[in-house]
């Protein structure tokens, strides 16, 4: 009979670090050496908070880049947060010429 899992502080730190980097939960469980059900039983709060904290850090980095004038960061922010979209316009200028052939001419050419 296997003994119940007893999370160590080192394992908690590893789970936190891996989850904050976006490592899939099944890979974290394999790394720790437990199944997913056991991982969720002992590490659920850590898994949930680590993802939130990682997203918060990334948002802070992005926001800082926007404030510092990064054009790419500003465009991304406006698309993600303000609903901006790329719009493409097709502008035609000049004369439009359309060549037509009769059905008979098409068969004679080919």
Using CA atoms in the order 33, 41, 3, 26, what is the torsion angle rounded to 10 degrees?
-20
Q: Give the tokens for residue 109.
A: 């050419």
Q: What is the pLDDT of residues 49-69, one digit of tens each?
A: 998 999 999 999 999 999 999
Percent of the chain with pLDDT over 90: 72
Using CA atoms in the order 8, 10, 11, 15, what is the torsion angle rounded to 10 degrees?
140
Query: Band of the pLDDT at 105, cuts 50, 70, 90?
Result: low
**33 or 1, greater pLDDT:** 33
Calculate mean pLDDT across residues 103-110: 62
Rounded to two decimals, what is the model's pTM? 0.62
Q: What is the pLDDT of residues 2-17, one digit of tens each?
A: 788 999 999 999 999 9
């Amino acid at each position: 009979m296997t003994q119940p899992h007893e999370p160590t502080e080192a394992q908690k730190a590893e789970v936190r670090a891996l989850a904050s980097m976006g490592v899939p939960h099944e890979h974290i469980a394999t790394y720790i050496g437990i199944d997913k059900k056991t991982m969720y039983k002992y590490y659920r709060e850590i898994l949930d908070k680590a993802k939130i904290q990682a997203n918060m850090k990334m948002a802070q980095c992005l926001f800082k880049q926007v404030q510092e004038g990064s054009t790419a960061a500003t465009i991304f922010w406006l698309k993600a947060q303000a609903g901006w979209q790329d719009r493409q316009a097709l502008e035609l200028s000049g004369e439009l010429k359309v060549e037509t052939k009769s059905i008979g001419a098409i068969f004679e050419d080919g």
